Structure 1
């Protein structure tokens, strides 16, 4: 090993090893050192690739770029890990570690998390290089575009490719609790898992990850997007936001002049970002219809560690007393979406997050002016069914007993998926839907009826979602938003 630029790669699938680490005193020092090391290691890969591309790379050259690593050591007497004794693990200290990618993007996040750790524990923080290689495609996304076919066939002999065996959600899903080799996880996601998702975010949303804000709204209708863009442009023009970012990284600032033309072809899940100073803005994602999209985008946005995400969309009202345009606040979910059953069995309950529920209720009151009995008449709370069958009405006889037993008040195709993903990834979640049809009571959605409904309710519904995020921003500032009920027994130190 030469200084901190060259490391050995024993078993890169084995325990995390910090090589050549150094103790840092402050979160800022740790973040800056991580950025320096990452840029250095990507530079190694870039230099090797340029030599490979022009045929000058020495076949014996084994200098590979690796991910930086961050470890935190805590004295045993300060660690309150409920499962330690049950697993027979007694030691003089508890060591937590994680690999790191794109540290400039996550600088503020790392600093906040490390600051909390230092305030709570007598922690020793070290930064260095890991034994995990950076895949070429993650370091240089368009690297292979200029290569010949022969070079593409040879590239895997000189560079590492993404390791799908280690790119997983084992930490998220609690599978690490029985694996005590090496440091305990410091974060929910490894560097390679984060890189995987950062690339997918660009693909599905057509915007760069750095534009995403920590307060996220999901919707399933384009008209919410139209309202959001109109509102966002007004916020930017008034100086209450720095910029509005649309798909294709189309940026509009206070002068009202977009940086480029709109994309000719919309991405699968277009995202729009109202960027405020201090990363306090709002992102709206149109996930379209269906649980598959909802799972796909939440799998990836989770690595950005948002403060909260909410589902605001339309639903079918299941009770005769509901009217078109009434709101539904989900207190529970019947998961018939099936897309997360392999990772989170339906038997696992999804608890409501009190701070989110209170904020949603308060926002409905403030935006509608309803209170007391009038509020209860137009805001129904209860169980929302999420199905993966858009034509569930055609098999109503098969579902009737289940819907009756669950006391369900509404049905949609995304809400439980978004909530389950929030529970799984420790992101506070909530659902406020608007009744667009009543299929069990003779009111199936028709074009004319839908247009009148949209015109009346979309703007108000979006304002309720935005007002909710304003209220939750105050909770986040006070440190009371991130509920302990989302944490597992052996939870990583980083949120």
Structure 2
């Protein structure tokens, strides 16, 4: 296999256990298996690729992919999705709230992400901002409000570092950046989506408040977040993609030129 197209057309089914023709034109990305289970309960679809690195489920021309955690895996799935060139990709991730005003269970709709991940530098120069497709974020916004909820907006800091909650120097740096939230994937998903000409957005669920010792995520607190807020997160993602699908909207925010 000599070309990227040959590689990703072979690797997407290999990683997911899902044939190319079975993928929907609209994609939800997640880091968590229980998101797939909830999507299955809502849609009646079944999970594919139980023995593969990344599981999927497809219903109503929407495919959810669990690419697991981290910027390297985020870049991998955004490369592999180039084999099917979806019309829209929405990342449903969890994040740490960095502001005192955010609460666990809040939604964050990013307007941009800071590329502290490192991985995205392999795809675009560091000066290129990580931005979501505007019309995709607009559809998510209208879906949230139509369901009677609200959200925060702002910038997300994406890091490739998982254990930092003890590091006061790192936390001081993030305070200087004045970001709304921190995660490990958003900037990577947006940047690699942009590099591959795939319209991409993100909707994040605040799962913890890591700037204070009492707010650091634990097994118990994560179970509480899952029980109380994850189904809403999934339903909003589905409805946003349905709005785009049924309205026939283009969500590409730029004309890409070679």
TM-score computed with the length of structure 1 as normaliser: 0.50
Does the CA-based 8 Å contact 2:165-2:216 persist in structure 1?
no
Point out which structure has higher relative CO (alpha carbons under 8 A, 6+ apart): 2
Among 12, 17, 24, the residue aligned to 1:206: 17
TM-score computed with the length of structure 2 as normaliser: 0.93
After superposition, the Cα gap between the structure-2 partners of 1:394 and 1:203, relative to the gap in structure 1 and judged at 3 Å, is: farther
Q: How many angstroms apart in 2 are the aligned matches of 1:451 and 1:246?
A: 22
Q: How many angstroms apart in 2 are the aligned matches of 1:226 and 1:460?
A: 13
Matches within 5 A, 1:37-76: none
Among 210, 221, 225, the residue aligned to 1:439: 210
Greater gyration radius: 1
Among 183, 197, 200, the residue aligned to 1:429: 200
User: Are 2:150 and 1:392 aligned?
Assistant: no
Number of the residue aligned with 2:229: 457
Report deviation, 1:363.
1.1
Number of the residue aligned with 1:481: 251
Number of the residue aligned with 1:220: 31
Tell me how many residue pairs correspond in the alignment: 257
After superposition, the Cα gap between the structure-2 partners of 1:457 and 1:322, relative to the gap in structure 1 and judged at 3 Å, is: same
After superposition, the Cα gap between the structure-2 partners of 1:414 and 1:352, relative to the gap in structure 1 and judged at 3 Å, is: closer
Secondary structure, counterpart of 1:365 in structure 2? helix
User: Are 2:157 and 1:356 aligned?
Assistant: no
Does the CA-based 8 Å contact 2:107-2:203 persist in structure 1?
yes
Matches within 5 A, 1:77-476: 162-163=1-2, 167=3, 193-233=4-44, 244=45, 246-248=47-49, 263=50, 266-274=51-59, 276=60, 281-367=61-147, 369-370=148-149, 375=150, 379-401=151-173, 403-441=174-212, 442-475=214-247
Q: How many angstroms apart in 1 are the aligned matches of 2:142 and 2:123?
A: 34
4+ long deviations beyond 6 Å: none
Secondary structure, counterpart of 2:121 in structure 1? coil
Does the CA-based 8 Å contact 1:294-1:417 persist in structure 2?
yes
Q: How many angstroms apart in 1 are the aligned matches of 2:68 and 2:207?
A: 16
Report deviation, 1:406.
2.4
Q: How many angstroms apart in 1 are the aligned matches of 2:178 and 2:132?
A: 17
Report deviation, 1:337.
1.1
Does the CA-based 8 Å contact 2:20-2:83 persist in structure 1?
no
Gaps of 5+ in 2: none
Does the CA-based 8 Å contact 1:314-1:436 persist in structure 2?
yes
